Amino acid sequence: MKKLLIVLILFFSYTTYSQTAEEYYNSAHYKAENGDHYGAIADYNKAIELNPSYTNAYNNRGNAKHTLEDYYGAITDYNKSIEIDPNDAVAYYNRGNSKNKLKDYNGSITDFNKAIELEPDLASAYNNRGVVKYIKGIDGCPDLMMAKKLGHNVHPGAMKEICN
């Protein structure tokens, strides 16, 4: 009887203290906000292990990898997020930023286009698309103007350089 009681106590203690995917996600988010991107990635990994369809965890793990300049790893996470939810405008936007860092300007513009198609008020997508267009020798001013119209704080130097 004592052995059964001990087993039950251990079982209930274990289930009481096990973390949920949401708790790991929140912990990861806190770590990322405080600059611990490696710790954040570890917690996002645990959240994804518990919930393999957790698009926000893939997206934010991608953001942590992007911050650590692992652009290919970030793109892999954004791809997974898009695979799970093809209407995730933020995943397209984030992937566009990572592609830009890898100088895949055409891919970056394509992703910003898709993000804007899915979320027409995503001001930062207009801003970044305008900058990438400028890098490619295409007029990016209309995109910067739209970003500004939508309330994005467009860098004055970029506005002056691209729109003049």
Within-domain flag for 10: no
Q: pLDDT band at 18, cuts 50/70/90? A: confident
| Count of structural domains, the chain | 1
Does residue 163 register a pLDDT over 90? yes
Domain span holding position 77: 21-95
The owner of tokens 């292990």 is 49
Q: Determine the Cα–Cα distance for residues 153 and 164; give it in Å rounded to an integer.
A: 18
Q: pLDDT band at 10, cuts 50/70/90? A: very low
Per-residue pLDDT of 27-67, as tens digits, reads 999 999 999 999 999 999 999 999 999 999 999 999 999 99
Q: Determine the Cα–Cα distance for residues 84 and 38; give it in Å rounded to an integer.
A: 24
Within-domain flag for 129: no
